[in-house]
Structure 1
């Protein structure tokens, strides 16, 4: 036996929600779960015995939707999270260039600004004129925290060939001033007009980025992630990304189980991918091809989430659907008929109507029982859509940490009447819909305990609002933990191999500093990860 963990409070998250006190692991799998005496009978001279000293042992956490490569890539760039004004953005970036002595002509990327968090000056988007104050010698691109808007300076626009004569593109737009001049704000698909000109990293550089990202994920108790990577970095070369993961796997350097949510937003990209023989399930326990991932709309913060009615605080827009109905129908049907699972980003109700229509058409033409198709985010819902989840047996990929920001803006964006049926996680779960919890990192942090805290309290990380934002839609602690363990395993068709601490399953576990089931809910966010076990090996220890 390789390792034995004793004197723990082992929450197995099995079908009976049973507890044990010891676990034995061998060859990356759980060999025995039971009492200390039962498990120690398997000990031999080479067994490492680890005393958990009464701490809680859970299955390793599974983030059902995030962007690992994007997170890892942006660790190399300007961190704009927490900036308080446009002037603060300018100052932080000037310091970044100076400290790193970045030569003229090199691209400068920044990520994480959100004008709604500005505490100085106006809560407005930066423009090229603001970025030009940083430098006109470096092409500069800043990505909003939602990843649905980028700001470019004059140099970046010059290199991308963007002028007042450049045509707009369907599924996106770039903003113009009163004279028809682009001001550097690019929304949705129009972002590609700029980002397609940023130099592409090599496979070795991708691997180095991923190693750092995986290490940080392990610190949060994550052992599995379902990650949308294919368009996360310049070049959008999915073959290089797959190659990087495969090489890390062969080198024994993967410390996360990767279920790739394959962003392939055109028929050309999807057909090329399928022609290469890729399908959902291709791979092994360390790296596996997951669903076709599509972006149905934008974000609530940027007012690009597609709604059926105009925004309450901006009546001139209903948001931006990324596809026409015909386009989404074609992509969904192609994936459906070629053994690809489907997961579509939909924040607005208009986008969900379109995607459910496409899924229903495909399933009617070619019925499939256990498809596990899903909606990622599923925030702005109405009664019809809530019922449609159950009718189509669709998975709801939810991000509880979104409450941290959204409770401040949602009512002003969509109005109080529609808000009643939004963020309805308890309604979905109790109607029999499968939910899987995630973070959408790096849009938000992948700190799982913060996500569980917000799921069960409906409060932000400062404890507001008092009593919770939507207390009638909170999850229990048990339900939230399930969403970050077995819920994620279900979405990847892996509930029989991971997600709970049961004999024969993969030995992925996490040790917490306090018992999440026994402490006050408001203190969940203060729990620390003490140890992360991946494939039977300790990959993080506090």
Structure 2
């Protein structure tokens, strides 16, 4: 169902909403008439307007002027705010939500994740990986150019692709293929040679260089070992990166997204965002976290180099703080740091620099302190329960050591296996968490052989966290998964896996609660709940229109509902029509299928 975008005057012909349930929960007060300031620029009518305030009230229509909501309530009241130049959107009985706030989305990485920048190798067999690389080599026009791929999934393949698989088809091209999560890569012999990786190369702290039966590197590099190759990979040009960002923003608009937290960006990418903002070509609200590296000296250098944005509208582009990282992911890679080992008896360690775990944790705590003392927010990637506990301990130490920075809202990124006791501590001290229902859908029960059924069920404990009072935001971690609101809500409600099975009935939440994690709580994470995240008068005129009754539909069918319109600051940025120019046909097809796009995996995608 497509929204009908009417560019003429909002006359009087709109049909009234017939749903009695909507009228029963309507805001009792008349809409704000904003006397003396002129008519609305945009009115959205004939819908179930989910205001997403604390009372979860429902209305029939909403009016926006100068980028701000000026009225929400009964349609007959909102119609009084129309004038000769007012535009309108007929929601056609669909659901009208505040603009979606994806609290962890790698914007540049999302745009660069598709051809022609990256070869897609999310396939079920090694032979298909090899065929994709062979095709890229055949299409390459520059001898010895780098071939970059993305998406192989150790949970789908019989084994990670190795240099033995890639060398026969790669010719003189160096090849790197990142896995679905960004926490592993495979390199061919040419890439290993350029990076100087041999059988005698020591793995960096928190990294693994896999070896074959003869003791030679087999091409698989896990976690920090990827940093041995990354500096040798030619970076994308500024023009390529800018184009990828433009494409990613359009893809976000098609999912109803108006705000994102872009975690772990470089100062170079921040400068690019700043120039695009100044040029008026950044139509998305971005809260950026600067990547903090793996040692306190990295944070010190970045704080010294960081030049705050000047002249930027903080409601469109702001630096919230820093992103740090303590461990990997609890997938087949088994790089999440756990209190109790994996079923095979192994365990991971922190990925920070340091000769011992104690030194690594001390370095993390010092990094947190440095950022906190600078008056900036910290979001730390942590998936294993041991890693999460170390992160929360670091937050508490920083907050107790410097109370001048009140309400920092430091938060845990992912928080897969956060213990209940730690969740209580987080709730008590205002520490939030950004969880990933879409990744839960991708993984389903595939972690049983690694974590066991109990921990697999508990992974991403939405219900426990909300019941204990933790501020839980939801995120896609795109390009790890598609930034699909509806898939995320469906997954949080049902906990059903892509390949069947239910992982954690006890951690299911309601549709309303899931919507809050994508709207109001995302705004809280951004220190912005006073101006965005709900459709109350005075709030940002950011809107997502869904073609159907999100709260009344069978949750199993939510992903089938279309996004029919997206509005940013009162301006329609998506009208429900696909734009094939923003991505190759394969990208358009995957996003149109919704759930079928979600074939990646665990966490925190990284690009060279």
Q: Which TM-score tier does this pair reach, normalised by the shorter chain?
A: over 0.9
Could you tell me which residue of structure 2 aligns to residue 234 of structure 1?
none
Structure 2 runs not aligned, ≥5 long:
1-39, 353-359, 577-608
Could you tell me the TM-score, scaled by structure 2's length? 0.83
Could you tell me which residue of structure 1 aligns to residue 550 of structure 2?
516
Query: Matched residues in 1 for 2:193 and 2:135: separation?
Result: 24
Residue number among 457, 480, 495 corresponding to 2:494 in the alignment: 457
Offset of 1:9 from its aligned partner? 1.6
Residue number among 253, 275, 279 corresponding to 1:218 in the alignment: 253
Offset of 1:79 from its aligned partner? 4.2
Residue number among 408, 422, 426 corresponding to 1:371 in the alignment: 408
The 10-residue stretch of structure 1 (163-172 or 54-63) with the greater mean CA deviation from structure 2: 163-172
Structure 1 runs not aligned, ≥5 long:
231-237
> Aligned pair in 2 of structure 1 residues 447, 79: CA closer, same or farther (>3 Å)?
farther
The 10-residue stretch of structure 1 (47-56 or 103-112) with the greater mean CA deviation from structure 2: 47-56
Alpha-carbon contact 1:486-1:500 (below 8 Å) kept: yes
Query: Matched residues in 1 for 2:286 and 2:377: separation?
Result: 15
Could you tell me which residue of structure 2 aligns to residue 305 of structure 1?
336
Could you tell me which residue of structure 1 aligns to residue 12 of structure 2?
none
The 10-residue stretch of structure 1 (146-155 or 290-299) with the greater mean CA deviation from structure 2: 290-299
Could you tell me which residue of structure 2 aligns to residue 84 of structure 1?
124
Residue number among 151, 169, 175 corresponding to 1:134 in the alignment: 169
Residue 260, structure 1, aligned to residue 260, structure 2: no
Residue number among 369, 372, 375 corresponding to 1:336 in the alignment: 372
Other structure's SS at 1:66 match: coil
Residue 62, structure 1, aligned to residue 123, structure 2: no
Residue 293, structure 1, aligned to residue 323, structure 2: yes
Other structure's SS at 1:532 match: strand
Alpha-carbon contact 2:91-2:547 (below 8 Å) kept: no
Alpha-carbon contact 2:121-2:132 (below 8 Å) kept: no
Please tell me the root mean square deviation across aligned C-alpha atoms, in Å: 2.0
Residue 97, structure 1, aligned to residue 137, structure 2: yes
Query: Matched residues in 1 for 2:449 and 2:313: separation?
Result: 45
Alpha-carbon contact 2:121-2:149 (below 8 Å) kept: no
Mapping 1:194-209, distance limit 5 Å: 194-209=229-244
Alpha-carbon contact 1:279-1:340 (below 8 Å) kept: no
Could you tell me which residue of structure 1 aligns to residue 35 of structure 2?
none
Alpha-carbon contact 1:78-1:93 (below 8 Å) kept: no
Query: Matched residues in 2 for 1:160 and 1:364: separation?
Result: 43
Offset of 1:388 from its aligned partner? 2.9
Offset of 1:471 from its aligned partner? 1.4
Query: Matched residues in 2 for 1:199 and 1:187: separation?
Result: 20
Deviations 1:130-163 (A, max 9, x none): 1112213111000010111111001111111112
Alpha-carbon contact 1:377-1:396 (below 8 Å) kept: yes
Could you tell me which residue of structure 2 aligns to residue 235 of structure 1?
none
Query: Matched residues in 2 for 1:375 and 1:285: separation?
Result: 23
Could you tell me which residue of structure 2 aligns to residue 269 of structure 1?
298
Could you tell me which residue of structure 2 aligns to residue 116 of structure 1?
155
Query: Matched residues in 1 for 2:489 and 2:458: separation?
Result: 21
> Aligned pair in 2 of structure 1 residues 242, 390: CA closer, same or farther (>3 Å)?
same
Query: Matched residues in 1 for 2:124 and 2:456: separation?
Result: 28
Could you tell me which residue of structure 2 aligns to residue 233 of structure 1?
none
